[in-house]
Structure 1
Amino acid sequence: MDTESVTETLPRRRTGYRIAWAAAALWGAWAIARVSGADRLPIVGGFGLPLTALTPYAAATSIVPLGLALAARNRWAAVVAAGTAAAFALVLLPRAVAVTPPAAAGPQVRVLTANLMFGRADPAEVVKLVAEHDVDVLSVQEFTPDAQAAFRENGLDRYLPYEVLAPQWGAEGSGLYSRHPLTELPPISGTTLHQPRASLTLDGRTVHVTAVHPLPPIDPAGVADWHRTYESLPSADAEGAVQILAGDFNSTLDHAAFRGLLDRGYADAADSRGSGFTPTWGVTMMGPPLTLDHVVVPTSVAVRDYSVHTLDGSDHRAVLAVLRLP
């Protein structure tokens, strides 16, 4: 190799080294933030929390820094990149594997939750889902007076005659419909969006259902409201009842606040069935599909089935969970 070739090659190699280290550092920092739950820190606000929802995409592309390091023959950057990919796999892959359900011999409950996108979702489709799947409890978000009237016109009350509703224009309204008699409970307080709660009795077991819908954590007001919701949601053993939380949580399994809720005695229905990567938002629009809608139940409740269903007129999919109570 002549002197001119060496002169040209060395800067190129140094550039490759630097790019490899930059990529390894970027993906590595993301993995460290996810594993450590750094998004719970106050400094992480309306920028970091939405980014946290994109963690599966960071994991899926974590081969990029490894490839760059290998191409640059940067051994230590390759080690960092490989460790990063392993860390992502450790925390993400379990949600794709179903867990053995607990032994539960109580009554079966079918719970459907649907974000109606400002009340624009096709009401006939929602009623059809309720009828076809023998739904016992329906939680709706972004529930408007027009949506309430449309549900009535489409015969929802034939299947779910009991209701605790807080319809509002825009995104603020939510509601609960049930096949069984409902008793209204105090709603989640101190939040912008209405989050009603209700109690029902099944074979002598008391069940409390909450329609969950915090603001998205994309600005300071949204972040504060989002945290207030998580702080206000009941623990799984609260009030001597089986707690079922169903709605648009504006959170994924990668958010520390959501995992903190699960640590209070809950399980995510999708995660339990190995469907934790199934997106519920962004599928019918431009943008990265995310899993924002959840049915959350005590760990003593067996999740027998889980499915998502596209709704015309909504940017969210409906989520159906078939549960067996303890």
Structure 2
Amino acid sequence: MTITEAPTEKRPARRRIVLSVFLWLLLTPGAIWFLGRAFGLERGMLIMLFAGTPYVAAWTLIPFLLALAARRWAAAAVAGLVALGMAVCVLPRAVPDFDKGPSEGVELRVLTANLLFSDADPNQIVQMVRDNDVAVLAVQEFTPRGEAALKAAGIDELLPHQQLAPEYGASGSGLYSRYPMLDQASRRNAGGFQQAFATIQPPGAAPVYLESVHPLAPAHPTMFAGWSTDIREQLPADENSTPRILLGDFNATLDHKVLRELIATGYRDAADTVGKGLVPSWPSRGGSNGLVTIDHVLVDERIGVRDVEVHDVTESDHRAVFASLTIPAAS
């Protein structure tokens, strides 16, 4: 008589196989994402997707914990390594750096705001400048209407020295300063946006260069190459030149290799430096806090970072970024 295996004996083995396959399938996207982020494989649609890396990093804990609970040790080991790798990429932004740069020098308080075709409330922007004792304001998506609105709101009384390049649409740019501009101009980047820049010298300080940055957004496949070019062509830090501050809407997060490479020339990201690098800035229209961090203040490593705050702006899809900095004293 032939003895056959009972169906009930096959079911546990089948369930174990299905569970193992499920866990491996669950952890695979996070593993691929981590490799792409680690090696800077931002191509095509991945450019926009990589902006969401902090959320994917949090998600990678799920397959790790499920694998541990199911005692699938090989899957748990791989998922744990992926979660650890993602944490290394993301979590340092939430922890203040030990080195925040020089603490002695002259304080310079700056603010950057994308005005969304100048729909942003001009009175709120001017009030922000007043409340935070801002000495330099950088604006993007700055139109002739926005210029007139800020003037009517009283910006000239607070920041009378100006380099303005307003244009209809999203391409305009501007810099407002409390201090005289030693030199000033605007340049049009490859993506077609103006970037106002100037050198100022606050009392008791050495000269410092500031530029209102606005690379092309990677919103469509035809814009991907221009986005990368615009960021690569931002002024690198140069220890043999005037200390530089780049502030504005970079249309990139610290999970984009091209921005990390710019920072590696000798900048520090102000928000990252003080442990606020995960505070989102876009999209925020309607009073929401935003989802990703694409507005930045990059400062030369010879400049210290005291504090960073991110503020909602009525009728803009970006939040404004304020930074209190320490620039070198005059020699």
Q: TM-score category by the smaller chain?
A: over 0.9
How many angstroms does 1:170 deviate by? 1.9
Which residue of 2 is the match for residue 187 of structure 1?
187
Which residue of 1 is the match for residue 311 of structure 2?
309
How many angstroms does 1:3 deviate by? 2.2
Q: 173-182 or 63-72: which moved more? A: 63-72
Deviations 1:50-105 (A, max 9, x none): 11110000011111111332354432111110001111111211111112322343
Aligned: 1:115 with 2:125: no
Is the alpha carbon distance of 1:31 and 1:235 closer, same or farther for their aligned partners in structure 2, counting shifts above 3 Å?
A: same
Q: 25-34 or 98-107: which moved more? A: 98-107
How many angstroms does 1:214 deviate by? 1.0
The one-letter amino acid paired with 1:162 is H
Q: What is the correspondence of 1:110-149 to structure 2 with a 5 Å cutoff?
A: 110-149=109-148
Deviations 1:25-54 (A, max 9, x none): 111111111122222xxxx12x10111110
Aligned: 1:232 with 2:233: yes
Query: When the two structures are superposed, what TM-score results if normalisation uses the length of structure 1?
Result: 0.92
Query: SS in structure 2 opposite 1:296?
Result: strand
- Assess if the C-alpha contact under 8 Å between 2:285 and 2:315 holds in 1: no
Which residue of 1 is the match for residue 301 of structure 2?
299
Q: Distance in 2 between matches of 1:68 and 1:20?
A: 8
* Gap regions ≥5 residues in structure 1: none
- Assess if the C-alpha contact under 8 Å between 2:289 and 2:312 holds in 1: no
Q: 22-31 or 270-279: which moved more? A: 22-31
Which residue of 1 is the match for residue 34 of structure 2?
31
How many angstroms does 1:165 deviate by? 1.1
Which residue of 1 is the match for residue 248 of structure 2?
247
* Gap regions ≥5 residues in structure 2: none
The one-letter amino acid paired with 1:197 is F
Which residue of 1 is the match for residue 327 of structure 2?
325
Q: Distance in 1 between matches of 2:33 and 2:215?
A: 25
Query: SS in structure 2 opposite 1:295?
Result: strand
- Assess if the C-alpha contact under 8 Å between 1:159 and 1:179 holds in 2: yes
- Assess if the C-alpha contact under 8 Å between 1:104 and 1:300 holds in 2: no
Q: What is the correspondence of 1:89-238 to structure 2 with a 5 Å cutoff?
A: 89-99=87-97, 100-182=99-181, 183-202=183-202, 203=204, 205-237=206-238
Q: 116-125 or 30-39: which moved more? A: 30-39
Is the alpha carbon distance of 1:287 and 1:272 closer, same or farther for their aligned partners in structure 2, counting shifts above 3 Å?
A: closer
Q: Distance in 2 between matches of 1:126 and 1:156?
A: 9
Query: When the two structures are superposed, what TM-score results if normalisation uses the length of structure 2?
Result: 0.91
State the identity %. Answer: 40
Q: 30-39 or 132-141: which moved more? A: 30-39
Q: What is the correspondence of 1:266-281 to structure 2 with a 5 Å cutoff?
A: 266-281=267-282
Q: Distance in 2 between matches of 1:214 and 1:200?
A: 23
Which residue of 1 is the match for residue 6 of structure 2?
3
How many angstroms does 1:141 deviate by? 0.8
Deviations 1:111-167 (A, max 9, x none): 100011111110000000001111111001111111111001111100011111111
Deviations 1:162-190 (A, max 9, x none): 11111112211111111111222352532
Q: What is the correspondence of 1:14-29 to structure 2 with a 5 Å cutoff?
A: 14-29=17-32
- Assess if the C-alpha contact under 8 Å between 1:27 and 1:84 holds in 2: yes
Aligned: 1:65 with 2:63: yes
- Assess if the C-alpha contact under 8 Å between 1:188 and 1:233 holds in 2: no
Query: SS in structure 2 opposite 1:23?
Result: helix
Is the alpha carbon distance of 1:238 and 1:214 closer, same or farther for their aligned partners in structure 2, counting shifts above 3 Å?
A: farther
Q: Distance in 2 between matches of 1:252 and 1:14?
A: 40
Query: SS in structure 2 opposite 1:171?
Result: coil
- Assess if the C-alpha contact under 8 Å between 1:185 and 1:199 holds in 2: no
Is the alpha carbon distance of 1:204 and 1:61 closer, same or farther for their aligned partners in structure 2, counting shifts above 3 Å?
A: closer
Is the alpha carbon distance of 1:27 and 1:104 closer, same or farther for their aligned partners in structure 2, counting shifts above 3 Å?
A: same
Query: SS in structure 2 opposite 1:195?
Result: strand
- Assess if the C-alpha contact under 8 Å between 1:49 and 1:218 holds in 2: no
- Assess if the C-alpha contact under 8 Å between 1:188 and 1:195 holds in 2: yes
Q: 1:76 aligns with which of 57, 68, 74?
A: 74
